[in-house]
Chains A and B, each alone.
Chain A
Amino acid sequence: SQELEQSPQSLIVQEGKNLTINCTSSKTLYGLYWYKQKYGEGLIFLMMLQKGGEEKSHEKITAKLDEKKQQSSLHITASQPSHAGIYLCGADIYTNAGKSTFGDGTTLTVKP
Chain B
Amino acid sequence: DGGITQSPKYLFRKEGQNVTLSCEQNLNHDAMYWYRQDPGQGLRLIYYSQIVNDFQKGDIAEGYSVSREKKESFPLTVTSAQKNPTAFYLCASRAAAGSYEQYFGPGTRLTVT
Contact = CB atoms under 8 A, between A and B. Distances in A.
- State whether these chains interact: yes
Interface residues of B, number: 29
Contacts of A105: 40-42
B69 interface: no
A40 B88 contact: yes
A31 B99 contact: yes
Contact of B104 (A30, A31, A43, A96): A43
A50 B101 CA distance: 11
B50 interface: yes
Interface residues of A, number: 28
Interface of B: 4, 6, 31, 33, 35, 40-43, 45, 48, 50, 56, 58, 88, 90, 92, 97-107, 109
24 contacts: A1-B42, A9-B40, A31-B100, A33-B102, A40-B88, A40-B107, A41-B106, A42-B6, A42-B106, A42-B107, A43-B92, A43-B102, A44-B104, A45-B101, A48-B99, A88-B42, A90-B43, A90-B102, A92-B99, A98-B31, A98-B97, A100-B102, A102-B43, A104-B42
Nearest to B107: A42
